[in-house]
Amino acid sequence: MRAPALIVENLRLKLCADRGDTTLLSDVSFEIQSGEIFGLVGESGSGKTLTALAIMRLLPPTIKATGKVIFDGVDLLALPEYQMRSLRGNRIGMVFQEPVAALNPTFTIGTQLICAVRAHHKLSGHKARERAIELLDMVGIPEPRSRLGFYPHQFSGGMCQRVMIAMALAGDARLLLADEPTTSLDVTTQDEIVRLLERLSKDHGISVLFISHDLGLVARLCHRIAVAYAGELVEVGHTDALLQTPLHPYTRGLVRCVPDLTQIGVLRGGIPGTPPMPGHWPGGCRFQQRCPLAGNGCDDAQVTSSLADRTVRCWKSAASVDTASIENTTSPTNGPKNLARNTTS
């Protein structure tokens, strides 16, 4: 078997300040296989973007990272900065949130994309321009040659997102970190971006970390999913199994929040309360204050259990959470059928 494209092992982040250290991430571990699209979901503030920034080594100096992030057999956290620069943007690309804000409004799309190409390839101006046109064509921008002279404000949000993906691929990246690339886009444009990521993964073997809060898109696009809550992963598994029979109470809560288009007039129950802030996490299970199944044992440190098709950070999942409990807490749909992954799209 081929080695995974990316291995994140016991990743921990701490914010170091004069008044004390605050833990932001705790023992985050997952693997992404070559050509796999791996989803990372969770509420705002759960640590999704921090995980991507830690992989790219783009965190401010006040945040200290420990653990291992292994890419191509090399631990990125142990690399000196000059070696990391040779990988960042070259072998590992990142698509940031808010593409319009990420592009410089005073330079044309062509100028910015050509600069990205020449930063990673020793090409003449003419060849870099041709490579930029090739990249725009790859991400589905019509008439790419004439579009090089456009400014970001002349592009729609979806077109700017395609440019950001092209810039992330300018250095022949084998790993793409997509941080909520469909946020604030209309559903038609979302579909186009999802199809683009699917094609890049299938045709070019690019591995993708897809960060999102949209379970519908994740269900369609991703092969496996990790669910983040309060700076840790609470459940990791294959997409269909995890969404149809979620085991962690938090995952079941997220699935329960998704509207089911087959049921009209049925109110969906949300998750009560709000996620705890870093530095104010409860002892034991961090979800216990919002969990309908909380009880004795939840005050103890939760150990990740490896079950048949996934890993779960809940002491009840392996033995005490039976089928009836899952059905009751997932009601009224017993797992929304509209989240089943569509592999033919």
Domain that holds residue 161: 96-170
143 and 210 fall within a common domain: no
Which of 327 and 15 is assigned the larger pLDDT?
15
> Which whole number is the average pLDDT over 110-118?
92
pLDDT in tens, 209-245: 999 988 988 999 999 999 999 999 999 999 999 999 9
Q: Decide if 284 is inside a domain.
A: no
How many structural domains compose the chain?
A: 2
pLDDT, position 139: 87
Q: Decide if 188 is inside a domain.
A: no
Greatest extent of the chain over all pairs of C-alpha atoms, in Å? 68
Query: Are 198 and 229 in contact, with CB atoms under 8 Å apart?
Result: no
Query: Which residues is 9 bridged to in the sheet?
Result: 68
Which of 169 and 76 is assigned the larger pLDDT?
76
Contacts of 175 (CB under 8 A, 6+ apart): 5, 6, 32, 71, 91, 92, 93, 206, 207, 208, 209
Query: Are 202 and 195 in contact, with CB atoms under 8 Å apart?
Result: no
DSSP 336: -
Cα–Cα nearest to 249, from 224, 285, 220, 222:
285
Q: Decide if 194 is inside a domain.
A: no
Could you tell me the two tokens for 185? 């886009």
79 and 206 fall within a common domain: yes
Please report, for residues 20, 202, 270, the alpha-carbon distance to residue 37 in angstroms, rounded to integers and kept in the order given. Answer: 37, 10, 28
Three-class DSSP category at 45: coil
Report residue 322's pLDDT band, with 50, 70 and 90 as the boundaries: very low
Q: How far apart are CA 217 and CA 339, in angstroms?
A: 9
Q: Is the pLDDT of residue 247 over 80?
A: yes
pLDDT in tens, 277-311: 998 898 889 999 999 888 888 888 788 888 777 89
Q: Is the pLDDT of residue 153 over 80?
A: yes
Alpha carbons within 13 A on the beta-carbon side of 340: 6
70 and 212 fall within a common domain: yes
Q: Which residue has the tokens 């809060």?
A: 213
pLDDT, position 29: 95
CATH number at residue 221: 3.40.50.300
Angle separating helix axes 125-138 and 109-120, nearest 10 degrees: 110
DSSP 148: T
Q: Decide if 206 is inside a domain.
A: yes
Q: How far apart are CA 273 and CA 97, in angstroms?
A: 26
Mean pLDDT of the chain: 86
pLDDT, position 345: 39
Q: Decide if 301 is inside a domain.
A: no
Angle separating helix axes 157-168 and 187-204, nearest 10 degrees: 20
Cα–Cα nearest to 271, from 42, 39, 28:
42
pLDDT, position 325: 42
110 and 256 fall within a common domain: no
15 and 47 fall within a common domain: yes
Could you tell me the two tokens for 127? 């060849």
DSSP 300: S
Angle separating helix axes 157-168 and 125-138, nearest 10 degrees: 120
Residue type at 66?
A: T
Q: Decide if 324 is inside a domain.
A: yes
Q: Is the pLDDT of residue 333 over 70?
A: no
219 and 313 fall within a common domain: yes
pLDDT in tens, 63-78: 999 999 999 899 999 9
pLDDT in tens, 264-279: 777 777 788 889 999 8
Cα–Cα nearest to 189, from 146, 227, 158, 147:
158
Query: Are 245 and 289 in contact, with CB atoms under 8 Å apart?
Result: no
Q: Is the pLDDT of residue 160 over 60?
A: yes
DSSP 288: G
- Terminal-to-terminal C-alpha distance of the chain: 28
67 and 161 fall within a common domain: no
pLDDT, position 296: 84
pLDDT, position 129: 94
239 and 115 fall within a common domain: no
pLDDT, position 317: 72
At residue 316, what are phi and psi to the nearest 5 degrees? Answer: -85, -20
